[in-house]
Amino acid sequence: MTNSLLPVHTLIMNNKAINFGALVLGMILVLVSLVYFVTPANSLPRFFPGYNMALSRHHYTHGVASIVLAFLSFAYYWFQSGKKSSEQK
């Protein structure tokens, strides 16, 4: 019977790539939240959720939601990139 598990170095590289992706996603979500806080709904880019030509108010709830998602993404990056215990090495 053959072992179908990936080599350890492949798993470590995938983990680093996912961590970097979480960091980049968090940065993008912070920028998106700034757009929601600063820009009224009728001036949002058309691909943003909440775009409405008839509204001139800001979508603060969308901004708060993207800040929360950014925080979760940064928290994931922080916990995954921290020091490993001696048992996990």
- Tally of CB atoms within 10 A around 19: 16
- Tally of CB atoms within 10 A around 42: 12
Global pTM reads 0.73
Nearest C-alpha neighbor of 62 from the set 40, 87, 84, 86: 40
pLDDT at 7: 60
Nearest C-alpha neighbor of 32 from the set 65, 75, 7: 65
* Angstrom distance (rounded) from CA 77 to CA 18: 9
Interval 20-68: pLDDT, tens: 999 999 999 999 999 989 988 888 888 888 777 767 777 888 899 999 9
Give 58's strand partners: 40
